[in-house]
Amino acid sequence: MKRAAWKCGIAAVGLALAASPAAAQMFNPTTYTLANGLQVVVVENHRAPIVTHMVWYRVGAADEPAGKSGIAHLLEHLMFKGTPSVPPGEFSKLVARLGGRDNAFTSYDYTAYYQNVAADRLEKVMALEADRMRNLTLDEQNFQTERAVVMEERRSRTDNNPQALLTERVEAALFLNHPYRKPVIGWSSEIAGLTREDALEFYKRWYAPNNAILVVAGDVQPDKVRQLAETYYGPLKPEQLPPRLRAEEPPQVAARAVSLADPRVQQANFSRTYMAPSYTAPDKAQAYALEVLAEIMGGGATSRLYKALAVEQGLATNASAWYDPTALNQTTFGIAATPRPGVDIPKLQAAVDAQVKLVLDKGITPAEVERAKARLKAQVAYARDNLHTGARVLGEALTTGETVEDVEAWPSRIAAVTPEQVNAAARAVLDDRASVTGILLPVKGAGVAQTQAPMVMPTKDLR
C-alpha cells in the first residue's frame, strides 16, 4: 500500500563482487552483488543532476503469517520511527533538509523505500537507508500511534470508498487459496490485533541485505555507487532467510460475481477479472502475448472495447482492459466499462460479453497485433527518459522472480509475439470459470450514506 501518491571510508577489504553486464535495450544497467548478498543495480541517466535511491525487499503482504494481515504495510510505516542514530520522525525531515523527498510502498510481493535527491546528496541518503535496514528501534508508544494511523488509512481509503471495497471483495473471490486474496493493507480486525513483537519479528526475519536490492538511477557513475554501497551496505550482516511459502490455487471451475450497492456510488460500473499467468509462469511467452491482447482490447480510444461500446454502440462512457504480468505467482487480466446514463448494467454486460466472444470466436487479426506491438514498443523511449521509471521497473522485476536480462529483453520479446500466440492466450485466459464479475451500483433514494454488505451472487443472476 502506498503511503502517499507513491511516499566514511570508501574501500571495504574482502568484499567480492560478481559483475553481470546487461544488454543495452531498455536501461542498460550495471549490476553486481556484494559479499553479504545485497544486489546492486545502477542506471545511468545524465539528463539532470538528480538521483533516485531505492531499496527493495523481497517481502510483501503475501508473505505475512496467517492471521497477521497488514503487518508488511504497518512495518513500512514503522521504518520511519527511528534508529539509535536517527530519532523517531527525523528520517523524512533529514531528507527534506537535503532538498529531497522520500516515500515507501508495499505490495503483495515487495516493500520498497526511495529518496529523490540532488546527485551530490546520494551518500547521505544511502547512509540513512543502510542504517535502518538493520538498526530499527521501536517503542510501544510509537507502535500504537502508527497502528492507529494505518487503521485510519484503511477506513479512509477502503472502508469509505465503495470502489475499493468492491475491488477487495473481487480479489478475495478470485483467489480461493493464495494469499493474494487478502488486502495489502490488511483486514481491520487483524490490523487491530497486531503487536510490536509481530512487527519486530517480521523485520528481523526479512529485512537483511541478502533479501534486498539497491537500485540507484540518475546522474551517477557506477564505480562511485559501488564504492558507496560497499561502505554503507557492505558491513551489514546477512541472515538465514526463510523460504517464501505460497499456497497454490486449486483449479478454477466456477464463475463468480460480486455486487456492491452503496448510497455513495454516483455511477454504476462493471468489471470482470480473470486469473492469468505472470512472467514467472512456465510458458513465459504467454505473458507477452497477454500484454499485446490487453492493448488491443482496451488500450485506449482505438481499442476494441472502447470503439464498440463507447463509439459505435453508445453504451459506455469508458471501456478498458488491463494486465499486470509482474507478480511472483499468478496475476490478473481484467476488463471494465462504465455505462452511459440510462444504460443498465445487464445491457452493458451483454455487450461486453459479445466483444469477448468475438475475440474467442474470430480471433485477433495480424494488423491489430502489429499496431499494438508498435504502441507498446513506443513506450520504451518514455521509460528511458524518466529515471524513476527505470528504478521502479527493475526493482519490481527483481523482487518478483525476473532478472535484469528479462527486463532488457522486453522490447525483443514483445516484437516476437505472433497473432497465433495472442489468440491462444485469449482462449486460455478469457474463461468465465476463472473469473469474477464485479458490479458497483448506486442505491436510489437513500438518505443516509451507509455501506451495504457485498453480496456474492451466482453469475446467472446478473445476466
User: Which residues, in sequence order, are CB contacts of 162 under 8 Å at separation 6+?
Assistant: 260, 262, 264, 265, 440, 451
Residue 152 appears among annotated catalytic residues: no
Cα separation, 109 vs 2, in Å, equals 13
User: Which residues, in sequence order, are CB contacts of 381 under 8 Å at separation 6+?
Assistant: none
Residue in 421, 436, 264, 441 with CA at minimum distance from that of residue 344? 441
Cell of 389: 521509471
Cα separation, 246 vs 89, in Å, equals 34
Question: Which H or E run includes 198?
Answer: helix 196-206
Pairing of strands 101-106, 331-339: unpaired
Find out whether 198 and 68 touch, Cβ atoms under 8 Å: yes
Q: What letter does residue 157 receive in the DSSP assignment?
A: I
Which position among 44, 64, 76, 168 bears the catalytic label? 76
User: How many of the other CB atoms lie within 10 Å of CB of 66?
Assistant: 9
Pairing of strands 39-44, 212-218: parallel
User: How many of the other CB atoms lie within 10 Å of CB of 385?
Assistant: 11
Active-site amino acid positions: 76
